A and B are shown apart, each in its own frame.
Chain A
Amino acid sequence: MIGAADLAVLFVWGTAVGVDLVTGPQVMIARPLVAGAVAGWLLGDPGTGLLLGVLFELFQYDVLPVGASRYPEYGPATVAAVAAAHGVSGPAGLALGALVGLATGVAGGASLGIVRRLNTAAVRAAAPRLESGDPRTLARLHAAGVARDGARAAAVTALGLGLAALARTLVAGTLAPSALALAAAAAGGAALAAAMNGTLRLVGRGPDVRWLAAGVVAGTLLVWLR
């Protein structure tokens, strides 16, 4: 059980992480590895935070945030995932975290589109004043954009933390450990598949494939030697 104070801190952290993704300052606290590690540290559970950070960082490799593309939002999702997995040891925690985080990530991605449409409507309404070069209109529109994204990030984080509480009550208590281990294996496998897919798309079929292969060999050796 996570106390109200911890929930409040996670809510603030998740909101900050959500705002960092697009609005700014884009210092990459929105990356799952960072969002998860800090969420785990805030709960006094750094191992869980780091593990779920790695899980969602692998999912993130499948995302290339160019132009108006639509993509899942994994920052607040990872914070919610850590909340779901906190105190649930082993594969069960990974399964709960993956389930909550992936659902939150899809919802977060959809919410980005809503904010973009609201921004578009506001800009259209203010078009004549913008054309006249009114700096106050410019500042107001921009501040409204920040506020909209802040509200969006807060709503996504709240949804994720709510889902985490629900999953801990409904899923963790009713399913056998083996069923949760199966789900953890499925989530981990999907994350690795997403990471491989995204990496292969980035690397392409050119000469950099050799560097990718060298990295895989070196990484495998390092894991084996650990």
Chain B
Amino acid sequence: MTPPLGATFLRLFGVQASWNYDRMIGIGVGLAEEPLLRELGRAEGDAVYRAAVGRGAGFFNSHPYLAGLAVGATARAEYDHVPPEQIERLRAALCGPLGSLGDRLVWAGWLPFVSGLAVAAAVLGAGPAAVVGFLVVYNAGHVGLRWWALRAGWDHGMRVAAALHAPALQRAARLTAPAMAFAAGLALPAGGAALSGVEPVWARAVFIGVTVAGLGVLSWLRTMVDGARLGLAATALALVVGGLLW
């Protein structure tokens, strides 16, 4: 029996909406899994359905795009009458791998890769078309990954670890890191040129000085200062100094 995956797939887009410190994304995962469990309830009764929903809403944390893998796998395990303690163990075992794989693949790979290309393209003449391109290309990967995760989870059930070793996924994980590095490398001089290009020539020396000093501050004081606070302090200080000078 294969319940329709559509409602679960749509709910996964909001899986982090009730993020909290006790269950992390567990509530969102439970809500996404619930439509898959309705058929189980109709076939085997309300008590079975409610017990499965209760398990689904327990603690869970992973990359949001890959949460569907756990949702599909645990729902399939419920249909396969896997003992509850084994389902709990599966959920716990998936948190780490789905978090680290998703962070590597998406937050540290696909997203900065497409963003870097978009920044470079926008500055080098593509303008707003680069923004449209960013949204289309990024979300092709994003939506595709979410669907693959849900489908793979449902197909594999308790053997879901096999899906994480799929050759395409491993190849993607290998390729995104160098691609991201190259695209980010393109974006740095392009972004710098766009920002310094609107300034008078004398101010470009200040631009370079703040870049070098700022990189030093962020490297050495990384636990105390982030980019926003550095930027805010530098801009406010420059306004005060400029106000005194001119």
The answer to whether A62 and B218 touch (CB under 8 A), given A55-B195, A181-B199, is: yes
Of A4-12, A22-30, A153-161, the segment with at least 4 beta carbons within 8 Å of chain B is: A22-30
Which of B12-20, B69-77, B162-170 contacts its partner? Answer: B12-20
Q: What's the tally of chain B residues with a CB closer than 8 Å to chain A? A: 109
> Which A-chain residue is minimally distant from B100 (CB atoms)?
A66
Residues of A within 8 A of B192 (CB): 188, 192
Q: Which of A33, A102, A109 contacts B115 (CB 8 A)?
A: A33
Interface of A is mostly: helix
CB of A183 within 8 A of CB of B238, answer yes
Q: Are B124 and A133 in contact (CB under 8 A)?
A: no
Type the 1/0 row for A173-205, where 1 means its CB is closer than 8 Å to any CB of B.
011101111111111111111111111001100
Asked whether any CB of chain B lies closer than 8 Å to the CB of A79, the reply is: no
Q: In the complex the two chains form, is A193's CB within 8 Å of B185's CB?
A: no
Number of A-B residue pairs having CB atoms within 8 Å of each other in the complex: 390
Does A212 contact B119, Cβ atoms closer than 8 Å?
no
Contact (Cβ within 8 A) A99 B236: yes
Q: Is B52's CB within 8 Å of the partner chain A?
A: yes
Q: Mark A124-160, 1 if CB is under 8 A from B, else 0.
A: 1000001111110011011011100100000000000
CB atoms of B185 and A215 under 8 A apart: yes
Given A106-B232, A186-B235, is A27 in contact with B135 using a C-beta cutoff of 8 Å?
Answer: yes
Q: Which of A25, A105, A174, A198 has the most CB of B within 10 A?
A: A25
Chain A residues within 8 Å of B30, by CB: 130, 138
- Contact yes or no, B19 A117, CB < 8 A: no
15 A-B residue pairs with Cβ-Cβ distance under 8 Å, sorted by A, are A22-B16, A62-B226, A68-B21, A99-B236, A102-B231, A102-B235, A135-B34, A141-B18, A142-B31, A175-B242, A180-B242, A186-B235, A212-B184, A216-B188, A223-B193
